[in-house]
Structure 1
Amino acid sequence: MRRELQRRDGEPMRAAARDRTIKVTLIGSLPPHRGISRYVQGLATALAGRDDVSLEVLSFASLYPGWLYPGGDPKATGAATSDVPGGRVRRSLRWWNPAGWLLDALTMRGAVVHAQWWSFPLAPVFLVLLAGARMRRRSVVITVHNVEPHEGGRLRRLANRAVLPLAHHIVVHTEANRAALVARGIGGDRVSVLPMGIAPPTARMDAAAARSAIGLPAGAPVVLFAGNIRAYKGLDDLIQAFPLVLGRVPGARLVIAGQPWGDPSTIERSLRNAEISDAVTARLEYLSETEMSLLLDAADVVVYPYTHFDAQSAAAAEALRHGRAIVVTDVGGLPELVDDGAAIAPPRDHARLA
């Protein structure tokens, strides 16, 4: 009894709490880098806020060479370097420094190493880090954001799959992702499904005020396509479907916003060919979080007409956070984000999409 009372009094109790603390090393990118950085930051903040976790974040000082990122600078223009309150952040990883990878592999503090895996060019970095973790008898968990790379190719697929055998356990965001890994021979007991989730809503601008701020008609129905513009995202299909939308809703507006991964003139040519240029507002450039939030506030519906996809969309989750309706194609985890089957179209089916 005396020992129990001592444990409840001051330092002995705190020592007991420390004994139950799990040391976790979270590997992934953080802002100002783009991609999954906001997701990693949210996860890190949640972990650091737990009393039973001591968190270390191992992140990147230099993520990619520029030629591997056709969407412009891998770092978001004007974005601040973020910290994780309550966690220890090490921005020591550089894509060009294998000696640094090895040093980090040998000095990671976590008994659990949780890697965020999303981009095949980083396979050498993650192979060194996770092999080092296994050699040091750490438990390795990998969250797989892209079961397959967005753009195809045998070498890309091999690089994307290379790190998975190093995991003791794998986390994916959708049942479709889990099924794909199980079909590849990974045991179902090694794969857990944890949906990406939707962050709590924040204060939004009134739709009329948002439209006024970006020069859109106050009463027009607004359809938004936003984010990095890559081939698999199906913008060309949306452009071809939009004349059908205008046939039913003559005053509708299509807003296209994002950084093209390629020649912007191909988008402009598609708009001319579809004869819808007068109904389109296009901002073919990188948009800050503030600018993207304004567009979401102005939209009635946000469209994700992907031709193929093997993940769950953080962009779509952000649209839902803003209270916006979404229309998706039947690929990857996108259908799991909507309740109404009428909001799901087969990929490349322009009539159903409209």
Structure 2
Amino acid sequence: MTRVLHVLDHSLPLHSGYTFRTRAILKAQEAMGLDVRGVTGQRHAAQSPSDPEVVDGLTFYRTPGEAGGLPLVREWSEVSALADRIVALASEWRPDVLHAHSPALCGLAAVKAGRRLGIPVVYEIRAFWEDAAVGNGTGREGSAKYWLTRVLENDVVSGADRVVTICEGLRADLIARGFAPEKISIMPNGVDFEMFGDPLPRDHALAAELGLGEGPVIGFLGSFYPYEGLDDMIAAMPAIVAAVPDARLLLVGGGPAEAALRTQAESSPVADAIRFVGRVPHHEVDRYYSLVDVVCYPRKGMRLTELVTPLKPLEAMAQGKLVGASDVGGHRELIAHGQTGTLFPADDPAGLAAAMAGLLGSRAEWPARREVARSFVREHHDWALNVRRYLAVYQALLPSLDLPSVAA
């Protein structure tokens, strides 16, 4: 049986979009007949009861210690510790392929270990982390750290045997940097239909508790980062309520922008139509999804959102929800306007309001649009099917591997 070791920044039991994508990949690969395990670097900030640690039936190895020291020295120490852990692990559990996932530090460790072991390395980019830092407000485009992160990313792409990105935007950017197109494959975000395939009926008790009435309800469930554009959503609410008086906005989650958003909402002339819930346990998210008619993603226009496709709209479609989203590149790659969702101009509250009012006013079209979107996700973004794209990548590196049929 082919063995694949995934090299990770962090993993379950921590909850994040990163760990949920990892879980989906590993579970789907296991179901396909591969033997998979994960190893995390020193940034996995969770106390592990054992090493290896089994979480949700998946096995993860940990890298001991905590990197310290001056910048650059600290990061290189992390890379070296993770590379050493991979090499030590390989003497016990002999992987056929090292499959590293961004950030670049994980990729550097995998490339370093792969060369020592003579094992091919696949590097998977989920986002360019220098752009993610700008979007999260922790970095500045054009700064020394921004360019250093990009240089490290380029080094990993050069050193890896094959590269996988989650979308065409990232792949095209790498090709524009001079990397060979045939080296770079796409593994799009997907949905685990065992988790998202059976939406709950509307939780009327929860709706009453939150004072939502009968709606319609526009919702956002996720992290409140500035680039998500939730300030534009709040700014659009007066015009939406003027067109659809019973409309409500439900915001579930938290993050760096939360305080500013709450202040903005409190001063809105339709403050009573806006509900903040805060963060909720992961197992309760479905209850809040059940309240929402339209899930809205008003992302700002910037490099991060233009290049990267988000996972959340796919999950919403799988839940049978209508989707509205700004027309940034990452959304356009996922959403066909008027078919699988509604696109509106980015950074434009008036345009957002007009689009949402039009969508809310066309209830007769909702059932057909929900079904089209759900069918799109099932046909093109089901992890159980998409994960087979990895087989061609692994097979190209090691033709003698005993892999399941790529065409199966």
Q: Fold-level match, TM-score > 0.5?
A: yes
Unmatched 5+ stretches in structure 2? 48-52, 68-76, 135-139, 354-408
**Contact 1:48–1:84 (8 Å) recurs in 2:** no
CA separation of 1:171 and 1:251: change in aligned 2, threshold 3 A: same
Deviation of 1:32 (Å): 2.1
CA separation of 1:171 and 1:95: change in aligned 2, threshold 3 A: farther
Q: 2:277 matched to which residue of 1? A: 283
Q: 1:142 matched to which residue of 2? A: 123
Please state if 1:116 is matched with 2:111: no
Aligned length: 312
Please state if 1:297 is matched with 2:296: no
Identical residues among aligned pairs (%):
22
Q: Deviations over 1:122-172 (max 9, x none)?
A: x44542333221332221112211035323233135325253333221112
In 2, the alpha carbon distance for the partners of 1:94 and 1:220 equals 51
Deviation of 1:211 (Å): 4.2
Q: 2:240 matched to which residue of 1? A: 245
Q: Map of 1:1-354 to 2, 5 A cutoff?
A: 21-28=1-8, 29-35=10-16, 36-51=18-33, 53-59=34-40, 62-63=43-44, 83=55, 85=57, 88-92=59-63, 96=67, 98=78, 100-107=81-88, 108=90, 109-117=94-102, 119=103, 123-148=104-129, 149-152=131-134, 153=140, 154=143, 155-159=145-149, 161-162=153-154, 163-200=156-193, 201-209=196-204, 211-212=206-207, 214-262=209-257, 264-284=258-278, 286-307=279-300, 308=302, 309=305, 310-341=307-338, 343-354=342-353
Q: Deviations over 1:181-218 (max 9, x none)?
A: 21122211111122212221443321153643652434
CA separation of 1:303 and 1:50: change in aligned 2, threshold 3 A: same
TM-score of the aligned structures, taking structure 2 as reference length: 0.69
Deviation of 1:41 (Å): 0.9
Answer with 144-153 or 299-308: which moved more: 144-153
**Contact 2:11–2:44 (8 Å) recurs in 1:** no
Give secondary structure in 2 for the equivalent of 1:115: strand
**Contact 2:7–2:98 (8 Å) recurs in 1:** yes
CA separation of 1:92 and 1:221: change in aligned 2, threshold 3 A: same
Deviation >6 Å, runs of 4+: none
User: Alpha carbon RMSD of aligned pairs, Å?
Assistant: 2.6
Letter in 1 for 2:271: S
Give secondary structure in 1 for the equivalent of 2:333: helix
**Contact 2:316–2:322 (8 Å) recurs in 1:** yes
Q: Deviations over 1:261-302 (max 9, x none)?
A: 15x431122113432311111123x32212322111110011
Deviation of 1:114 (Å): 0.8
CA separation of 1:245 and 1:290: change in aligned 2, threshold 3 A: same
Answer with 331-340 or 31-40: which moved more: 331-340
Q: 1:6 matched to which residue of 2? A: none
Letter in 1 for 2:14: H
